[in-house]
Structure 1
Amino acid sequence: MNAERASCQRIGRLTPLADVLAAIARIEPVAPREVAPAAAAACVLAADVNAPESRPAAPLALRDGWAVDADATRDAGPYAPLTLQPPPQRVDAFAALPSGTDAVAPLDAASALGGMMQFMTPAAPGEAVLPSGGDIEANAVLYREGARLRASDVAVLSAAGFAAVGIRQPSILIVNTRRDDALLGPAATMLARAVTAAGATCDITNDLDAGLDRNHTDAIIVIGGTGEGRNDRSVMTLSRVGTVACHGIGLAPGDTAAFGMANGKPVLLMPGRIDAVLACWLVLGRALLDRLSGARDIEIVSKATLARKVTSSIGIAEVIPLRRAGEQVEPLASGYLSLQSLARADGWMLVPAECEGYPAGAEIEMRPLP
């Protein structure tokens, strides 16, 4: 029995969450590379994006209509139709404005009479015109380094004529230690989708030894085998090929998680439960990915009022799933987060390690689930 116990990996103490996050904060971002804007969605910019020139270079029509000199139409009215000489030119939306014109009157502002176009409504200077530089001013900073590009940002960069942008896109390897496990499989898939949505590339393997030895990846996330069970070997495997900075973290769920390095790459080991994988990703994995990508995102949080109290243990940071209940939010579970509680959750909150919880009616910060 003693020999069997000695052969199992052991957790000596729980490392404070703040210490683990501090270690993650010391990791260097990955090297930048350039990609076309269409390939940069959800990725993090490696440098500021500045407009090289004004767009448009010359005024454009903002609608289909009549290109006119606004001053020449100022006396037009329904009871005093005005015939312009020379006749106005019809333009399509986003066509260049003809020389000598500064406005685009709507098509129904004029009517044909005897082969002549008569205006019954005056146009204002600049009406329905996109001026030179109206879309983008030369040298304007469009996006800052560390910004994560949204789909709308990709559209702006493409429309503005950028052929490439510099990004940092980490490559993450997920190791699912038990391929046929009914819970680890869905957990690995969930994690892979969250990693991809956060702007990284992702691969999944079932071979821990080969995964820790892989060179063409920037970080490794291991799912399963972090506990003290007879078949738990993930932490011991890491200790053979790399270093284990901590085994046991003050986070619930996820207290058997570990963190270390292998071949110069950070390795985050998560317990093999969906709730623990989710909690570790929300608090540790996302912090690791943000550091590797150089992200400077403003965290999305919303203020909410607790419908009932939340209790927690000092020294343990805790992830609590929340469900909206009218104008308040209801805490659904703590410690072990059941599948049903996760199914009902609209978001989550983090109870800091130094806090014993919150009373009913307290205002807290609610964060979105991946």
Structure 2
Amino acid sequence: MSAAKKSGPLSGLQVVEMAGLGPGPMAGQLLADLGAEVIVVDRRTGERIDKDVNRRGKKSIALNMKSEGALDVFFSLIEKADILIEGFRPGVMERLGLGPDVCLAKNPKLIFGRMTGWGQEGPLSQTAGHDLNYLAMTGLLHTIGEEGRPPVPPLNIAADYGGGSMFLLLGVLSALFERSQSGKGQVIDAAMVDGVPAMVGLIYSMMGRGLWQDKPQSNLLDGGAPFYRCYETADGRHLSVGSLEPQFFAQLLQGLALPADYSKIQMNMAQWPKLEEAIGGAIKAKSLDHWVGVFAGTDACVAPVLSIEESHAAALNTERGNRIILNGITQAAPAPRFSRSKPQTPQPAGRTGDHTAQILQELGFNENDITAMQNSKVLA
């Protein structure tokens, strides 16, 4: 919609995002990071969003969606859009008069992306929930934590963003490719309870082969294996150990000055308590910095557990330049990296509604029209 396109592989892509929380805004941010023009439809003007990382690189228009005039503006946006993203409970967009049938009638090429936890249909579709609840119902939360203790919430990454944002993005970009062949838009039902299981093919495979027990801290990748877990060091810090392959495990043993013949019992689960005691005891005897030095340049698959603040200053991240600072907040730079169509550094957000007049002008409304909208409460 804007004459000045951003740089990046998605430059020229037009996205409308309904203001919300969590996975929808994250998906919109990633599209904006890669060059898409993302316009967020907000409910009111003037709210500070300058510290909201998920709002970077986007524009904001504030509309009173209960007014008929606002619907006209919204449909003007939709007529020019490639993608719409919304994360309301099923039925909300329909009650607003903005459902898929209406929007696709206005723009048959529109990709209508719908993000929910439970899905558009099903017994829980109208029930509130959060990442932790969705993850709980997939069976994956059960696997995280110590045996005999309650599962540990893995932040809101796995369901909201892994099973949510990423599958919403996969859906809308796949539909965009399909549209290049069919010329038609479609509706994407991205549900976290669908996306999370789609990431767990390896675990399902291991269960099917009898190599995974359906209980926590009992398997190769859930902290049960003594060579794939974290250990405390002498200074109360923690060291991550991921020495799965035999050749890497051999280097771990060498670095810890443990007997080389422990390699013979690496995959013997009955011997895992013995290995855990030996590995844990060795690591506990020295500081984190000591072990970082010992394993530097090796393939033992060992790394220090850093805090978020520490990670910002780590050489790995500073040398790759994968952090940027916007409005005083350190955050991730756009990812992934492209050899030709490199995206620009995102601009931080300001306040909701900051771009209302600009967007309306680009849609063809003049100053008198905008003033009339303000007076009639079309603009929020």
TM range (shorter): under 0.3
User: Which of the pair has the greater relative contact order for Cα pairs under 8 Å at 6+ separation?
Assistant: 2
TM-score, length basis structure 2: 0.23
Structure with bigger strand share is 1
> If you compute each CA radius of gyration, which structure gives the higher value, 1 or 2?
1
Structure with bigger helix share is 2
TM-score, length basis structure 1: 0.23
